[in-house]
Chain A
Amino acid sequence: MSSTTPSDPSKRDFIVLTGQAMMGISGALFAWPLVHSMNPSADVLALSTTEVNLEPITQGQAITVTWRGKPIFIRHRTAAEVESARADDGADLRDKQTDAARVKSFEDKEQSQWLVVQGVCTHLGCVPLGQKPTDMKGEFKGWFCPCHGSHYDTSGRIRKGPAPKNLAVPPYQFVSATRIKIG
Chain B
Amino acid sequence: MAHGERTPFQNPVIEWVDQRLPIFTLLNKEYIVFPTPKNFNFLWNFGAIAMVMLVIMIATGILLAMQYQPNTMMAFDSVERIMRDVNYGWLLRYIHANGASMFFIAVYIHTFRGLYYGSYKQPRELLWMLGVVIMLLMMATAFMGYVLPWGQMSFWGATVITNLFSAIPLVGEHIVTWLWGGFSVDNPTLNRFFALHYLLPFVIFAVVFLHVVALHVVGSNNPLGVEPKSKADTVPFHPYYTTKDIFGLTIFLIFFAAFVFFAPNYLGHPDNYIPANPLVTPAHIVPEWYFLPFYAILRAVTFDISIPFTHIVLIEAKFGGVLLMFGAVFALLVLPFLDRSPVKSAEFRPMYKIFFWVLMLDCILLGFAGAKPPEGAWVYIGQAATAWYFIHFFVIVPNLHKIEKTLPLPDSIDAAVRAAQAHKAS
Check A-B contact in the complex, CB < 8 A.
yes
The chain A residues found within 8 Å of chain B, CB to CB, are 1, 16, 19, 23, 33-34, 36-39, 41-44
- Please determine whether A34 and B63 come into contact, CB atoms closer than 8 angstroms: yes
With A19-B243, A23-B246, A41-B87 as known contacts, state yes or no: A33 contacts B92, CB within 8 Å.
Answer: yes
- Please determine whether B87 and A37 come into contact, CB atoms closer than 8 angstroms: yes
- Please determine whether B59 and A34 come into contact, CB atoms closer than 8 angstroms: yes
- Please determine whether A36 and B87 come into contact, CB atoms closer than 8 angstroms: yes
Q: Which residues of A contact B66 (CB under 8 A)?
A: 37-38
Q: Complex: how many Å from CA A152 to CA B91?
A: 47
- Please determine whether B81 and A43 come into contact, CB atoms closer than 8 angstroms: yes
Q: Complex: how many Å from CA A38 to CA B66?
A: 8
Q: Does B160 contact A (CB under 8 A)?
A: no
Min CB distance, A71 to chain B, in Å?
25
Q: Which of A33, A34, A37, A42 has the most B CB atoms < 10 Å from its CB? A: A37
Which residues between 42 and 89 of chain B lie within 8 Å of chain A, taking CB atoms?
A: 59-60, 63, 66-67, 81, 84-89
- Of all chain B residues, the one with the shortest Cβ separation from A33 is B88
Q: Which residues of A contact B236 (CB under 8 A)?
A: 1
State the majority secondary structure of interface residues on A: helix
| 7 residue pairs bridging A and B, Cβ less than 8 Å apart | A23-B246, A33-B91, A33-B92, A37-B86, A37-B87, A39-B87, A41-B67
Min CB distance, A131 to chain B, in Å?
32
Min CB distance, B42 to chain A, in Å?
18
- Please determine whether A34 and B60 come into contact, CB atoms closer than 8 angstroms: yes
Task: Choose from B89, B239, B243 the contact partner of A37 (Cβ within 8 Å).
Answer: B89
With A41-B81, A43-B81 as known contacts, state yes or no: A36 contacts B88, CB within 8 Å.
Answer: yes
Q: Complex: how many Å from CA A57 to CA B137?
A: 61
- Of all chain A residues, the one with the shortest Cβ separation from B91 is A33
Min CB distance, B172 to chain A, in Å?
42
Q: Which residues of B contact A42 (CB under 8 A)?
A: 84-87
With A1-B236, A37-B63 as known contacts, state yes or no: A19 contacts B87, CB within 8 Å.
Answer: no
- Please determine whether A37 and B67 come into contact, CB atoms closer than 8 angstroms: yes
Min CB distance, A23 to chain B, in Å?
7
Q: Which residues of B contact A41 (CB under 8 A)?
A: 67, 81, 85-87, 89
Q: Which residues of A contact B59 (CB under 8 A)?
A: 34
Q: Which residues of A contact B85 (CB under 8 A)?
A: 41-44
Task: Choose from A1, A19, A38, A43 the contact partner of B63 (Cβ within 8 Å).
Answer: A38
Q: Which residues of B contact A44 (CB under 8 A)?
A: 85
